[in-house]
Structure 1
Amino acid sequence: MGLQKGTEGGAVAAAVLGAVLFGTSGTSQAFAPTATEPLSLGAARLIIGGSLLGVLGLLRHRRSVRSASRFAAALPLAAAGSLEAGEVARAGSAGESSKPSRLVSIWIAVAAVATTCYQATFFAGVRANGVAVGTVIALGSTPLFAGLFEWALMRKRPGLRWLVATTLSVLGVVLLADLTNADIRTTPAGVAFSLAAGASYALYTVAIKSLLERGWHSASATSAVFSVAALLAVPIFLSTPTGWITEPTGIGVVVWLAVVCTLGAYLLVGVGISGLPATTVATLALAEPATATGLGVLLLGEKLSILQGLGIVAVAAGVLVAGSRSKSGVVMASSDVVTEARSLDD
């Protein structure tokens, strides 16, 4: 298909396309029926998209089990010197425990709840303040909350780079709010929803990172979390008005969000992560807010003030700083977590 893991160009194209697809999420809501509630739309997206990711995770688990079986069968040969130890180790590492520990189960639950909260708050923020402002605030605040959560939950103190990136992002959020401009319909409640979305996604990324540090493969962790989130979303969806989903536009928006903006985007970003440094992927991810802003202004007719334009630039600068490498080549923790969380590569 032209997006092969082995080529850098293909990895770049996949990462950018995945970010672009993510960036269409907020705009998609505008094409849903008028009666569609953000909570209902987010739940529907999660039910379908999470289920699809869960199926992919199950298929990968079956491959891992087969690989683990080959590993067990290879042990006698390895002992006899007929198989290199490195090959045995690679075969065995593919298998993952089918009985997660209590702590792992807790992290999966935390990530699932955070994912569920993100869907509702993100769409609520976008509806209140527009696609451009809502999306940029949510994405720009994520590194801030990720650093704070890592500090509070994992005892990992953020460094100077995180502080600089956070300062730029916070400045950008303040400028984006532009509450002094009477012609700009930016509501404090909408800003709060978008910040809550950023905090929810940050908590999700920290939980995923914790699973990865305990030996889980990124695809398995993501699939497990989204499967649980899909189950959590069912009663939420049923508690909201659901008539909108029977309309053609309602079905079309949900399918786009679940299949294209969730499943497809995760797979594409996973291809990008498999062939590029995390810092490069983090930089290419700027295509997401750029897409959201462009669609909001050009397609939906949203208007941005000069201060809001400067705010977008400040947030973009913050993300670039967060995704940059130090002199030792180490990526800032919170940026690496956010990037890794969107990986669904094999």
Structure 2
Amino acid sequence: MTEGAGLGAGEVPEDLTAAEAGMWQAFRNGSVYDLSSGDPVVDDPHGGHPWGEDRTVRARIVCWLLLDGPPALAGRVSSLKLAGLRVSGSLDLAGGTVVPYTEMRQCRFEQDVLLPEARFTTLRMVDCSVPRLEAARVQTEGDLHLPRCRFHRGIRLTDAQIGTDLMLNQAVVHRDRSGRSVAADGLTVGQDLQAELLESHGELSLRAATIGVSLSLRGARLANPYARLALNAPQLTVERSLYLTPAGVGAQAMSGMTPAQGTRIQRFECEGGIRLDDGRFGDAVDFERARFTLTDDQELSLRRMQTPELRFLGEQPARGRVVLSGAKIINLMDRADAWPGPGRLHMGGFFYENLVPRGPFSLAERLDWVAAATAEYNPE
């Protein structure tokens, strides 16, 4: 960047504020630059307490450090580790290559964060307030972590390539102008996509996404009363399992684990339709204790889905349809009271090998289950 022209290795630009000068030196030292006050009410990035100039840095200075920053001090590794800062202006790294490790905790961003086609090693934004994250085709060698962040106008991760894990645990994401909370069609994640206890207001779109290990929506709450779909993920490929199951809440809860006895539980809840048509899941699709709130014209659509095991163990939808037409399952693990009533279950061309009922499922109830499906259903 031209702003750095003429600066010696150890020099600090003259126009930096006191807060920016401190950030500059912390970058060279590889240390955390924390401007938090110590008062949790004041320091809440999502609260209404104003943060003044003493806690504010300009976005262009942050970009300067990440794209063309000064060399590290002897024996140190330069990195940007910020906590409790307000970033003014738009953080625009579009198309850039960011080499330093980058982590921002409990920061406030005044304007959108723009990362389309940028390259990172690892990027972590934890418990930050962000108007919108634009990151189409972003690439990371390592992780992209966005836990506990709040995005007021959505996230775009279309065709992004995440080298290892993508984390959205406990994030709150509101919809954009197109009605999407997370637009991630064509996303590729090398390992896990963790979105446990996610709160999504709008359409979560994962069309044709590929997840290298598992996709966890444990304890997530998806709500899209504005349109037909809350989760739109046709042609989704997950090498292992998709979890739409409960999560533990609180300090005792462990991500990715079955909640310990006595831990407060939050089940997966979805207000709006789910589309998993043509999905491929290497191990299982798990709906244990899931709750679906559908309108009469909305569906839990699993058309032509393929997986070794479907655990249909959620709460019976009061309205809407469950569609399994053309799906291929090896083990169907289900419960008698999980299925919707007559006229709301469609299984034309549904193929399974083994029935594994969880709890009582009498022959009479199984015949009723068959009768609840469309007329063309043929048990084999």
TM-score (norm 1): 0.18
Give 1 or 2: higher helix fraction. Answer: 1
TM-score (norm 2): 0.17
Q: Which has the larger radius of gyration?
A: 2
Give 1 or 2: higher strand fraction. Answer: 2
Name which structure has the greater RCO, CA cutoff 8 Å, separation 6+. Answer: 1
